[in-house]
């Protein structure tokens, strides 16, 4: 039997005129003789030489960019330059042609916007295949890191009955008839008659459930889809995204920050070690793009240097209070260049402020910690000062917030006061409060938006281009 190979394998195989079979899609067909074949295994194509005189004319005519073919032949040292090996084809099978008049992915530069409309075909471009191979490698790195460090992978529920997660707007899950829902005596929708007997939504975070598991398994992490019905059409928000949420018993905020930093650096080092080809390609893509930009907007470092910089340098840790001082005295603030001016302690930081701190002031990733209690979620641990909480956000150049986390409030009475002040009923959070009634302990965790990490590693400016089929307001095609 003739063995089936991938392009990646063949490029690393010594050519001895051995018979091989290769299946893939035609990237280009030159001079009726040279097929550049790609099968997704690597960015590179393998050149297949078909001497058209030996093949059916109709068949040769049907070979065009995008067609799926099988090539059988012998692997030889390449005659041409640019590749070490090529296949001298003696048999060619056309699986499916791609009509040049209608196939949208032609061998020329397409805009990312155009390709978003063709999300089912864009994976056949070099850019998207590089991004998605990196996304896959990063996922593996995420699991590897946690598995090697004593964490258990926990599947948090996707349908949630707790509406107190407080991380944004939720998508409702229901089987009630929208035209004729059962009503209560007061005329409100009677969710007791809904599938779960109560209101349910798609999860915005697996944190609360992860906390329960950390208080038994010690160290856990979730890595799954997360949903937010936020109508924010930005380059860093999706309605469906993947979040990584480690949660650790007996970790305080410092240990939490140490973990976040170590984790991010480790996964980036992993792709630097394993995905050079794709990173190099994306780096070149960015450099080409930059040529069209004004000098001031060009980034200071090529992609791979930016990644190495993060791996090799400590993140700068700064308290919210210090950050406010820096921002208050900053040039853009004094010259009223910020859309939201900073004059008082307590202000919520906008993305323009985060980016100023990271990109202009510190010029490295920054961890901000000890935020004012009233701009952060109820479950974050109150500091002795009574006004700040043990929160931390990791801020990245070009991205802004990539991680949000905290030490959790483990003291029952403090938590009860907090939720009373927010008018949340204790019965909404009964099981969460139970975790403070039975064997409570210091614990911490964070959430990292996976797509934002993929954006950083690939240098892609828009989050819609780092997930296969993005869900955003008014868009759930495919």
Quote the least distance from Cβ 167 to ligand ATP, whole Å.
4
Cα–Cα distance measured from residue 72 to residue 92, given in angstroms and rounded to the nearest whole number: 6
Interface residue list for ligand ATP (CB under 6 A): 167-168, 228, 230, 237-238, 241, 243, 401-404, 447-449, 451-452
Q: Is 331 exposed, middle or buried (0-12, 13-18, 19+ CB in 10 A)?
A: exposed
Alpha-carbon distance values, 378 to 10, 39, 414, 427, 464 (Å) = 56, 50, 10, 15, 31
Alpha-carbon distance values, 183 to 174, 176, 192, 201 (Å) = 14, 11, 10, 19
Q: Of the candidates 72, 74, 75, 65, which has an alpha carbon nearest to the alpha carbon of residue 93?
A: 72
Helix (H, G, I), strand (E, B) or coil at 117: coil
CB 451 within 8 A of CB 225: no
Measured from the CB atom, the residue of 27 and 452 that comes closer to ligand ATP is: 452
Quote the least distance from Cβ 477 to ligand ATP, whole Å.
18
Measured from the CB atom, the residue of 24 and 400 that comes closer to ligand ATP is: 400
Cα–Cα distance measured from residue 365 to residue 363, given in angstroms and rounded to the nearest whole number: 7
Measured from the CB atom, the residue of 89 and 380 that comes closer to ligand ATP is: 380
Q: What is the DSSP letter of 380?
A: B
Quote the least distance from Cβ 465 to ligand ATP, whole Å.
13
CB 25 within 8 A of CB 64: no
* Helical H segments across 55-164, by residue range: 57-62, 112-116, 126-148
Q: Of the candidates 244, 247, 252, which has an alpha carbon nearest to the alpha carbon of residue 215?
A: 247
Measured from the CB atom, the residue of 71 and 119 that comes closer to ligand ATP is: 119
Q: What is the DSSP letter of 357?
A: I
Measured from the CB atom, the residue of 133 and 464 that comes closer to ligand ATP is: 464
Count CB neighbours of 380 within 10 A.
Answer: 23
Quote the least distance from Cβ 229 to ligand ATP, whole Å.
9
Quote the least distance from Cβ 177 to ligand ATP, whole Å.
30
Quote the least distance from Cβ 223 to ligand ATP, whole Å.
12
Quote the least distance from Cβ 132 to ligand ATP, whole Å.
17
Quote the least distance from Cβ 391 to ligand ATP, whole Å.
9
Measured from the CB atom, the residue of 46 and 323 that comes closer to ligand ATP is: 323
Cα–Cα distance measured from residue 241 to residue 135, given in angstroms and rounded to the nearest whole number: 13
Measured from the CB atom, the residue of 204 and 249 that comes closer to ligand ATP is: 204
Measured from the CB atom, the residue of 124 and 452 that comes closer to ligand ATP is: 452
Quote the least distance from Cβ 227 to ligand ATP, whole Å.
9
The C-alpha angle with vertex 237 and arms to 456 and 248, in degrees rounded to 5, equals: 70
């Amino acid at each position: 039997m003739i063995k089936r190979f991938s392009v990646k394998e063949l490029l690393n195989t010594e050519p001895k005129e051995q018979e091989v079979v290769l299946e893939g899609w035609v990237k280009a067909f030159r001079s009726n003789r040279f097929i550049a074949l790609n099968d997704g295994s690597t960015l590179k194509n393998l050149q297949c030489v078909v001497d058209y005189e030996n093949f059916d004319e109709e068949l040769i005519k049907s070979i065009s960019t995008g067609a799926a073919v099988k090539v059988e032949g012998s692997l030889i040292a390449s005659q041409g330059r640019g590749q070490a090996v090529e296949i001298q084809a003696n048999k060619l099978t056309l699986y499916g042609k791609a009509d040049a008049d209608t196939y949208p992915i032609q061998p020329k530069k397409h805009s990312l916007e155009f390709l978003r409309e063709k999300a089912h075909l864009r994976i056949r471009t070099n850019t998207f295949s590089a991004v998605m191979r990196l996304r896959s490698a990063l996922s593996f790195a995420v699991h590897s890191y946690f598995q090697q460090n004593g964490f258990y992978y926990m599947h948090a529920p996707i349908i949630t009955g707790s509406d107190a997660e407080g991380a944004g707007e939720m998508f409702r899950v229901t089987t009630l008839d929208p035209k004729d829902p059962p009503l209560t005596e007061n005329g409100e929708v009677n969710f007791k008659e809904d599938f779960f007997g109560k209101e349910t939504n798609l999860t915005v975070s697996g944190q609360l459930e992860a906390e329960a598991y950390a208080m038994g398994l010690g160290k856990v992490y979730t890595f799954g889809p997360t949903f937010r019905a936020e109508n924010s059409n930005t380059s860093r928000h999706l309605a469906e995204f993947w979040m990584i949420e480690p949660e650790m018993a007996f970790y305080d905020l410092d240990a939490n920050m140490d973990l976040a930093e170590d984790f991010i650096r480790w996964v980036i080092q992993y792709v630097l070690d394993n995905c050079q080809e794709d990173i190099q390609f994306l780096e070149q893509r960015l450099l080409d793009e930059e040529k069209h930009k004004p000098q001031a907007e060009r980034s200071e470092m090529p992609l791979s240097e930016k990644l190495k910089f993060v791996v090799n340098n400590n993140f700068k840790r700064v308290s919210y209070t210090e950050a406010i001082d820096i921002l208050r005295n900053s040039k853009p603030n004094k010259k009223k260049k910020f859309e939201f001016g900073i004059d008082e302690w307590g202000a919520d930081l906008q993305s323009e402020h985060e980016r100023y701190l990271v990109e202009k002031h510190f010029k490295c990733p920054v961890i901000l910690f000890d935020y004012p209690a009233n701009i952060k979620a109820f479950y974050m641990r109150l500091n002795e000062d009574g006004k700040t909480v043990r929160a931390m956000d990791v801020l990245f150049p070009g991205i802004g917030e990539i991680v949000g986390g905290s030490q959790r409030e483990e003291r029952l009475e403090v938590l009860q006061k907090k939720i009373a002040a927010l008018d949340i009923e204790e019965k909404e959070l009964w099981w969460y409060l139970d975790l403070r009634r039975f064997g409570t302990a210091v614990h911490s965790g964070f959430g990292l938006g996976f797509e934002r990490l993929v954006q950083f590693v690939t240098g892609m400016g828009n989050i819609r281009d780092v997930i296969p089929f993005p869900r955003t307001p008014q868009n759930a095609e495919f």
